[in-house]
Structure 1
Amino acid sequence: MPRKPTKGYWVRGHFVAYGSEEDSELKRAAKWDADLSKTDLKKRSAHLQAVGEQLLTLKPSLLQGLDLPPSLREALAEAKRIDDFEGRRRQLQYVGKLMRQLDDALVATIEATLAEQHRASAAQTERLHAAEHWRERLVADDAALDAWRELEPDADWQRLRALIRQARKDAQVHPDPAPGQAQRKGRAWRELFQHVRAVLDAHESPSTVARP
C-alpha cells in the first residue's frame, strides 16, 4: 500500500510539512509580519538572541527551574562546550532561532529569572562594598565600634577588638605599596573582612548594611 504523501507547502524551493517545527515558526513569523514592522521584527529577533545568550550565565539551579524545550537545553549545553569562536557564534545563532520559537509567556518567565539573578548579584556586590567600608572604618576609628553594635549587638567584643588591633598592626608592618605594586595585608585584615561580611550577609534588607 503506497504511503500517503505528506501534506505541506513550498517556501523558496523548500518543502515545509504541516505541523512541523518549521511550519510553526513560519506561521509565527507570518503573524509577526502582520502585527509588526520589519524594524520591530529585527529588534525582537536581536532581543531574543541576547536573552538566549544570557541563559548561558544563569545559575544551574535557576536554569533547572525553567520549563525549556529539550532542544534549547541541548543547544545551550553544546554552546558551553564549544571553544572555537566561529563554532560558538553559529551555535549561539541556533540558540537564538530556538528562542524565537518560544511563546511569549515562557520568554517573560526567562527574562524574570535573569532579572532575579541580576538583582541577587547586585545585592551581593553592594554588601561586599559595605563590608570593605566597615572594615576600613573599624580599623581607622575606635568610635566605629559603637555604630557597629547596631548590626551585631551580641558580638564577641573581646575577640573583635583584638582582631581590629592586629589589623592595625598589620597595616603598620605593610605600609602603602609603591606605585604598580599590590598592597600586602595580614591575616587579621582578611579575617576582619570575613567577619564583617558574614554579619552583613545575615541581614536581609540591603538598607541595613548601608555604609556608615
Structure 2
Amino acid sequence: MPRKKQYQWQAHDDGQGQDFEQPSRSAKKRESHALQALGEELARLGPQEVQALNPPPELAEALALYARIRNHEGRRRQMQFIGRLIREMDDAEPLRAALERRKAGTMAATAALHRAEQWRDRLLSAPADELDQLLDALPRPQAENPAESDGPQTAAAGQNPRKGRAAAGEELRSLVLKARKEMADGSAPHARRAVFRALHKLLVESGAGSNEQSA
C-alpha cells in the first residue's frame, strides 16, 4: 500500500519536483498586520478621498461610521471591524495601490509648493544684478520645449512660444520687483503672494516641482 504524503500541499505537486508551501503562520500574521494598517490609513482620509479610492460599499460604510464615532472603545472595535473587512476581500492590492498613488500625488504637490517657496525666496533676496540670471534659470513649461513646439502645428497656429515665454518672464520680473519694493517698504505682501502663485504654476507646468534639485 503506497505511503500517504505527510502534507496536503505535496499531493498537488506539479509533476516537476516543485513543492509550493502555504504561507507560514508568521507570514500570515505580517500580512494581517499590514492589512490592518491599511485600514488605519484609510480611516485618516476624508469622505471624498475615500470615495475616490473606490472601496467596496461595505468598507466605505464602515469607514464613514468610524469617522462619526467619538467613544474610544467604539472606535477601537470599529477599526478592528474595518481590518476584518479588508482581510476578507478577495484582493486588497488594488485598494492598496490606489492609496499609494494618492500618497505619491500628495507628496508631489507638497514638493511643488516647497520648490515654489525656495524660488520665491531666492528671487526676492538675490542682488539686483543677479535677478535676470535667476529668472532665466527658471524651468521652462513642457509645452514650450522647442523640440515639441517649433513644429508645423505651432507655426500653422501662428504661435511663437519664445515670445510667450518672454512675455511671461517679463510679467514675473515685474511681480518680483513689486514684491521686493513691498519688502523694502514693509507693506502688505500682495505681490509676494502673486509671485508665489506664478512660480508654483510654472513649476507644475514644467514638471519640475518635485524632481528639480536645489541649485
Q: Are 1:197 and 2:200 matched, yes or no?
A: yes
Matched positions, count: 167
Could you state the TM-score of these two structures normalised by the residue count of structure 2? 0.66
CA gap of 1:197–1:189, structure 2 versus 1, over 3 A, is same
Give the structure 1 partner of residue 172 of structure 2. 160
Amino acid at match of 1:198: K
Shift of 1:48: 0.8
Structure 2's unaligned 5+ residue stretches are: 1-20, 145-164
TM-score between both structures, scaled by the size of structure 1: 0.67
Greater CA deviation, 34-43 or 83-92?
34-43
Runs of 4+ in 1 over 6 A off after TM superposition: none
* Distance in 2, Cα, partners of 1:140 & 1:122: 27
Aligned 8 A contact 1:127 1:201 in 2:
yes
Shift of 1:173: 3.7
Q: Please list every run of 5 or more consecutive structure 1 residues that lacks an aligned counterpart in the other structure.
A: 1-33, 175-183
Q: 1:60 aligns with which of 48, 51, 69?
A: 48
Provide the aligned C-alpha RMSD in A.
2.8
The secondary structure found in structure 1 opposite 2:117 is helix
CA deviations over 1:61-102 (Å, ceiling 9, x no partner):
67345351x322211111122223222111111101111111
Q: 1:93 aligns with which of 61, 69, 80?
A: 80
Aligned partners of 1:206, 1:131: CA distance in 2, in Å? 8
Identity of aligned residues (%): 34
1:71-110 paired onto structure 2 within 5 Å: 71-103=58-90, 106-110=91-95
Q: In structure 2, do the counterparts of structure 1 residues 144 and 77 end up closer, same or farther at CA, with 3 Å as the change threshold?
A: same
| Kept in 2: contact 1:203–1:209 (CA 8 A) | no
- In 2 relative to 1, CA 149–202 (structure 1 residues): closer, same or farther, beyond 3 Å? closer
> Is residue 130–residue 210 contact of structure 1 (8 Å, CA) maintained in 2?
no
Query: Separation in 1 of the partners of 2:139 and 2:96?
Result: 40
- Aligned partner of 2:48: which letter? P
Kept in 2, the 8 Å contact 1:135–1:193? The answer is yes
Is contact 1:58–1:114 with CA below 8 Å preserved after alignment? no
For residues 110 and 187 of structure 1, do their structure 2 counterparts lie closer, same or farther at Cα, with a shift above 3 Å needed? same
Secondary structure (helix, strand or coil) at the match of 2:206 reads: coil
Larger RCO (CA under 8 A, 6+ residues apart): 2
Whole-angstrom distance in 2 between the partners of 1:157 and 1:204: 18
